[in-house]
Chain A
Amino acid sequence: MKRRHFLAAMGIAAPILLTPSMTSAFDLDLGLPGMTISTKDIKKAAKNNKPNAIGYEDVTPEQEYYLGRAVAALILKEYKPFEHKRGNTYINVMGNLLAQASDRPETFGGYHFQLLDTQEIITASAPGGFVFLSRGMLKCCKNEDTLAAILSHEIGHIQKKHPLQSVSREHLIQGISTMAIPGTSTMSKGTVSTLTKAFDGAVRDIMKPLTEKGYPHTLEEEADSDAVILLRNVGYDQHACLDILKTLEKKSSQNDKEFMHLHPAFKDRYELTERLIGNTPRAKRSTPRNFRFMSMTAGI
């Protein structure tokens, strides 16, 4: 075979051979003088050319977990947990059922749900799977399906890592890439102090949308979309998303002092949700679920 014919053949073969699955599966040594192709060299070249851009996607599940614990601790510093064993068990089992049907059923520490002892109408989610729901918000739910819609919306924020998207790049770079002391799994005191400062900054970044202006409109839309999908995946009535939006809009329009205005205009959310539900008919009322809802939330 002439060299030029071989090169023409490789010109056809190269794009296929250099796909990641192929290069990692084997090394190619064609045994021809000056024609050895090493996939290790290909990978090294690719790595060297990779842009050094760190983003929220680079936060590991373990790092996200510690951020989540800190945010959750701050939420519980502001609002007392509501001790109601039946109610908390109920939202944990339901929440985990919904989370398992999501795109991200597994987080580092798992999903955990907690009732808050306030009549303010609040839900909040912290990175890695911590979800909070106030007594006031629970009272807005008429049945289990509307409660599932609320929990699904928060799971949507977690599965899309919306809280992490609030963290500034500076805090991310410090928080993600700082290494342990070579040969150990620990860090120097100075390193820990610097990291803790970055950690504090990251936690503050995450808290801002929860306490001030809310998430950007696009992220709330994503969470609303995910809520519809999760309800559909599990078998709840998707129309429950519209029902709870109507209830919350009413509370908002009444300038209910317990309502915290952290979400975009209801009209837009309602229209988006209607589009996503499409022609799916409203499900028949589920007596077992309604009975369960009343029984598990009695006294809340």
Chain B
Amino acid sequence: MKAVLAILFGAILPLLLMANTTLAQSMSVQVKSAHLKKKPNPLAELLTTLPYGDQLQVKTEEGPWLKVMHPKTGTTGWVHSSALSARQIVINPANRHIEAAHSGTISLAGQGFNLEVEKQYKEQKQLDYTQIDRMESVTPSQEEIRAFAKSGNLGKGARQ
């Protein structure tokens, strides 16, 4: 009897614990400017953008979309997982961050190939990045994209 109780205890315990466990995960913005949207949809209204390195609390998931809350502003919305990293991203690292980066738990902004490397590479190859900077300055707004989809009778097939 005691053996049966022990085995039942072992089987039920994880289920009880899982029921009490909430999704309390923290993710970091790993792109320059992540899109926080009203709904988990590519063409959803853009609420705001979130800067590189910001940490967000994940509330729930729907496919590749995560519902997040910004702890400082309290703003809630949906971000595509491609914009987020499970690692904490540190913008200005200190000694302890360098050590932690070795363990893979954090990511240092500017680690490896970075702006300093680009500057030296540009000089060595005598490359002009003016046109690249111009190319990057052309960024259609979410409103332009939505209007484009609507006027072309598109977007109805867009994934959730």
A residues adjacent to B (C-beta < 8 A): 1-2, 5-6, 8-13, 16-17, 21-22, 24-26, 47, 60-63, 65-67, 69-70, 72-74, 76-77, 81, 88-89, 92-94, 96-97, 100-101, 103-110, 112, 114, 130, 144, 174-180, 182-187, 192-193, 195-196, 198-200, 202-203, 232-236, 286, 288-289, 292
Contact = CB atoms under 8 A, between A and B. Distances in A.
B108 A179 contact: yes
Nearest to B35: A106
Contacts of B82: 103-107
B155 A47 contact: no
Interface string B80-111: 10110100000111110010011110011111
Contacts of A106: 31, 34-35, 80, 82-83
B112 A178 contact: yes
Given A9-B6, A107-B31, A288 B151 contact: yes
Contacts of B124: 196, 200
Contacts of B156: 235
Interface of B: 2-3, 5-7, 9-11, 13-14, 17-18, 21-22, 24-25, 30-35, 42-43, 52, 64, 80, 82-83, 85, 91-95, 98, 101-104, 107-118, 120-122, 124-125, 127-129, 131-132, 134-136, 138-140, 144-145, 148-149, 151-159
A67 B112 CA distance: 11
Contacts, number: 238
Contact of B2 (A1, A69, A235): A1
A228 to B, nearest CB: 12
- By secondary structure, the A interface counts as helix
Given A25-B21, A69-B132, A16 B14 contact: yes
12 contacts: A9-B13, A13-B14, A16-B18, A62-B114, A69-B118, A175-B113, A177-B112, A193-B120, A195-B112, A233-B157, A235-B155, A235-B156
Given A21-B21, A47-B103, 9 more contacts: A8-B3, A25-B24, A63-B114, A77-B127, A88-B138, A93-B148, A103-B82, A185-B91, A192-B116
A235 B154 contact: yes
A232 B157 contact: yes
A94 B144 CA distance: 10
A196 B114 CA distance: 9
B40 to A, nearest CB: 12
B101 to A, nearest CB: 6
Contacts of A93: 140, 144-145, 148
A200 B125 CA distance: 9
A286 B154 CA distance: 10
A12 B11 contact: yes
A155 to B, nearest CB: 12
Contact of A101 (B5, B42, B92): B42
